[in-house]
Every structure is written in C-alpha cells, then in structure tokens.
Structure 1
Amino acid sequence: MSRKEHAFLWISGWSVPEGIWEPFHGEWPDYHHVTLSFCHCEQVEHVMEQAIQTLGKMEEDEVTVVGWSLGAMVALELALRFPKRISRLFLIGGVADFMKQGHDDIGWDERVLRRMKKQLRSNRQEVIRSFDQKMFSLLEQEDGWQERWQGVFRKHLPSLSSLQAGLDFLQEFSLRDRGKEISTPVFLLTGSEDGICPAEATLHLAKQLPRVECTIWSESGHACFWTQKGRFQQWIKECLHGEHS
C-alpha cells in the first residue's frame, strides 16, 4: 500500500466520540483519515497531550485539521505550536475565548460553567441533555435532529472525569492576542443560531486571524456540519478548490 501524501485530522467536541466524523471519510479516499476525541481524557492537561501525540504520529507531508467546538480550540493551539505540520484549518463553532473576557458580552459566564460542573457530579444525563438542547436551531429541532443526535451519540456517556476535564479546558482556553501569529489558512463555519459558540464569537475570532474566510449558515445550530452533511462536504471541497485556483 503506497503512502498517502495528504491527511485529515478530525477533532471532535466536548462529550462527543470520534465516530461523528466517519460519514465524511469516503469523500476523500486519497487522504489518510485520523479521528480524535477526548472522551477518555481524565485530566485537563491530557487534552492537548493527546492532540500533540496524535499529530506527531501522522507521517503525511500535508495535514488538514478539521475541528469542531472544543476541537476547534485544540486545532488553533496545534496551528500555533506546529505551523509547519498543518496546511489548513477547517473550524466549526470556533471561537477565540469560550468564557466571557472582562466586560465583553461574548462567551459563557463563569457561574454557568461552575454550576454545570457541579451538576455533572449528580446527574450527567440531565446536564448533557440540557447542553444538547442548545446545540440545535429551532428549525433543526422541529426536523427531529436533536432526537436523532441523542439516539446516535448519547446511548453511552463519557466518564465524569473526562467531561470535567473537557469543561476545564474550555474554561482555561483563550487565544488572547495570539491569533495574529497563526499563519495557516483558516476556514470558519458557524450557524446563525448556534447556542453554544454564537456566530458573533466566531466573527470575533475571524477579526484576529491573518488568513481567514468565514461562512455563516442561516437557521443552523452548533452541529450544522452533522445536520447538513452534504452541504458541509461541499463547503470543504469549495474551500480546497479555491486555494488551488
């Protein structure tokens, strides 16, 4: 079997297994596909450690990173640390800061995240159900996407410690003024009704990046790449084609 020159590294979000990316692999048969989730990371420091180890094991000359939500934040950190290894980023629900910063209204309030962490210890299922409700737009909910999501991805929940570690990472993550140092081309995708990482926060990130394109899908939520798989695949293809045209 010949060595592939190109690879995708698909990085999942909080509480979601890497299987979420499987439907997309067949669209790029000439690429090597590596998937990464953090459902087994027991400490916050394990999140970046696992991402760095995974990237380090990839032998391809050109690595395209696709990151969603928490995975988008991890992808930004990888691009900062390993600019020569990563050729481009596709980020869904990407933000510069997950938490509110100073007097800024963008981001999650620290009290909300603290309460979420506390509630996880007594009722993981209810916390994740509440989180999932924020993930889908009104139209997506009416079309039954939340029920489908829970049927596919919520039959088995990650461990309490891995969920806590993921929330710790979200709480600590901040790009601050480092965005200008990312030389890698970045393609951002967000839903206009994203209730987890609002489109406003993605636009704020876009202003910090030197080489960026930002796309907003109307009536779409946080998991728009999953509810509109064909459109998502076409978006990536068009971005890749635009780079080489």
Structure 2
Amino acid sequence: MIKIHREVYGQGQPLVMLHGWSMHSGIWRRFAQGLAEHFQVICLDLPGHGRSEGVTPYTLERISAALLAAIPRDRFHVLGWSLGGTVALDLAHRFPEKVASLTLLAANPRFVQGEQWPGVKAEVLRSFADNLAVSCQATLMRFLALQVKGLANGKELLKQLKQAVQECEAPAVSTLQGGLDILAHSDLTLSFQQLGCPVQAILGGRDSLIPAQCGERLQYLRPDANIRLLRDAGHVPFLSHQREIVELLAGAL
C-alpha cells in the first residue's frame, strides 16, 4: 500500500481536502483549523508531494486509488484546489458511493483553454514543463508568483505560500511533470456533468490560472451546481478569503 500522509482536524462530517500542484497539506493548516469548527477535516498529501510516497505511472487512476485507501471514513465530502480539484473530481467519478459532495476551489474539469472553454493556454503549461528540466526551484517560484499576480495583498500571500512550500522538500521532477501532464491532457467535463452528488465551485475573480468565466461554463454543464465567485480573490482564495469560504462551506455542506 502506498503511504499517504494525512493531517486531521476537528470532528463531525468528514471533509477531505486535496491541495494543488507542487504543494502539500501544510498549505491548508490555518484554513483547516477554521473549518474544524464545522467538520472533521482530513488533509491528504497527494502522491509524491509533501510526506506521501509516489505512484508510477502518475495517473489519475493510480492517484485516486492511493488516496481512497488513506481516507479513514466510508463516506465523505471532498474539496480540491487547482490540481487537487482535478483529482477530487476524478475521485468522485470513480467512487460515487464514497463521495457525498464535491467542491472545486479555484479548479475546473478542464485546465487548458479550448474551443468555447476558458482556461490556461497550452503553451503556459509547456513552458513550465520545459523549465522544470532547467531549474526546478526557479520554476516553482514562478508558479507561486503567478498565483497571486495582480492582487493588492500579493506580496503577503506570496510570503505565506513560500513559507508553506519550504516546510517540505519539493516533489521529484518526475512527479511535477506527471502533475503537469494531468493538467494538460485531462478533460473531465463529462464526468462533472454526470456526477450524482451535489457539486459546488468557488472561483476567484482575479484568478490568473482559472478564469472567472469558467463559472458560466460550469453552470451550463450543471444547472444545479452552486457556483460562487469571490471577485477580489486570486488562485489562493483560502488564504485571502478564509472566513468567507468557511462560511460558504459550513452553509452548503
């Protein structure tokens, strides 16, 4: 069995939280402690990230199976941020009997821009992949800066991101490349549309990676989905708008 690191806070309904690319569960800590007043919060390090062992090949199927084996509850809500949102959606699709609801936080079913689909340009992901081979550390720092681009409190948020990331060693380049491959090639729009559980998405109006226009496409795919837009938030709304998101989740779940 793959060793998956987890941090658990609070009691009550279980809420599994999955972090983004190159991160680990430490990024959630303050946010998780706020949510712990309402839920049992279970933070998992994605395979190959933080203190979790890796999987080979680095596919959604292998990742979801490893994570499910590490969740100590039979049924749970799941929240995923960025790459973690893609994994959370895959988990809900593969194991519908386990997932009570899905929350996408600054995440969507298709990361890359396409015809009538707002997203990141494919060349942006390709440049990250190319630069990883040259300088992993510089590439990660560039990615952190992109997450807070254009925000009034961007410098403070960037400091928080750097402090959290530096708590653990960076993932292996093969793991980082695997995560980028998932983001570049996964299209889970049909899975999102067909999910039987309640779905919500919380997006940032100033997110440079997940365009706010994604909310309209998500609502079109799932008229019953609860789509919320935090107009002044970027790609890390759980750092900049913690209180608002805690209240949204407490009310919705």
How many Å apart are 1:47 and its aligned residue? 4.5
Q: 1:36 aligns with which of 37, 41, 45?
A: 45
Q: Deviations over 1:163-187 (max 9, x none)?
A: 1111011112102433321111112
- Distance (Å, rounded) in 1 between the aligned partners of 2:120 and 2:32: 33
Which moves more between the two structures, 180-189 or 110-119?
A: 110-119
Q: 1:122 aligns with which of 134, 147, 154?
A: 134
Q: Corresponding residue for 1:243?
A: none
Q: Corresponding residue for 2:3?
A: none
Q: Deviations over 1:20-71 (max 9, x none)?
A: 2233444436626242324254645344413223224435343010110111
User: In the alignment, is residue 215 of structure 1 matched against residue 222 of structure 2?
Assistant: no
- Distance (Å, rounded) in 1 between the aligned partners of 2:126 and 2:69: 34
User: In the alignment, is residue 81 of structure 1 matched against residue 73 of structure 2?
Assistant: no
TM-score between the two structures when normalised by the length of structure 1 = 0.85
How many Å apart are 1:204 and its aligned residue? 1.5
- Distance (Å, rounded) in 2 between the aligned partners of 1:57 and 1:138: 36
Is residue 44–residue 169 contact of structure 1 (8 Å, CA) maintained in 2?
Answer: no
Is residue 194–residue 221 contact of structure 1 (8 Å, CA) maintained in 2?
Answer: yes
User: In the alignment, is residue 23 of structure 1 matched against residue 30 of structure 2?
Assistant: yes
Which one-letter code corresponds to 1:36 in the other structure?
Answer: D
Is residue 5–residue 62 contact of structure 1 (8 Å, CA) maintained in 2?
Answer: no
Which moves more between the two structures, 57-66 or 35-44?
A: 35-44
Is residue 182–residue 209 contact of structure 1 (8 Å, CA) maintained in 2?
Answer: no
- Distance (Å, rounded) in 2 between the aligned partners of 1:41 and 1:91: 24
Within 5 Å, give how 1:55-94 maps onto structure 2: 55-94=68-107
Within 5 Å, give how 1:138-153 maps onto structure 2: 138-141=151-154, 144-153=156-165
Q: 1:14 aligns with which of 3, 21, 24?
A: 21
- Distance (Å, rounded) in 1 between the aligned partners of 2:227 and 2:16: 20
Q: 1:190 aligns with which of 193, 203, 222?
A: 203
TM-score between the two structures when normalised by the length of structure 2 = 0.82
Which one-letter code corresponds to 2:132 in the other structure?
Answer: L
* Gapped regions of structure 1 (runs ≥ 5): 241-245
Which moves more between the two structures, 223-232 or 116-125?
A: 223-232
Is residue 66–residue 90 contact of structure 1 (8 Å, CA) maintained in 2?
Answer: yes
**Match of 1:106, SS?**
coil
Would you say how many aligned residue pairs link Structure 1 and Structure 2?
235
Which one-letter code corresponds to 1:83 in the other structure?
Answer: P
- Distance (Å, rounded) in 2 between the aligned partners of 1:98 and 1:135: 14
* Gapped regions of structure 2 (runs ≥ 5): 1-10
Which moves more between the two structures, 191-200 or 210-219?
A: 210-219
Stretches (4+) displaced over 6 A = none
**Match of 1:199, SS?**
coil
Which moves more between the two structures, 15-24 or 26-35?
A: 26-35
- Distance (Å, rounded) in 2 between the aligned partners of 1:94 and 1:222: 9
Which one-letter code corresponds to 2:245 in the other structure?
Answer: F
User: In the alignment, is residue 178 of structure 1 matched against residue 191 of structure 2?
Assistant: yes
How many Å apart are 1:121 and its aligned residue? 0.6
Which one-letter code corresponds to 2:15 in the other structure?
Answer: F
How many Å apart are 1:154 and its aligned residue? 3.7
- Distance (Å, rounded) in 1 between the aligned partners of 2:157 and 2:12: 36
- Distance (Å, rounded) in 1 between the aligned partners of 2:214 and 2:12: 34
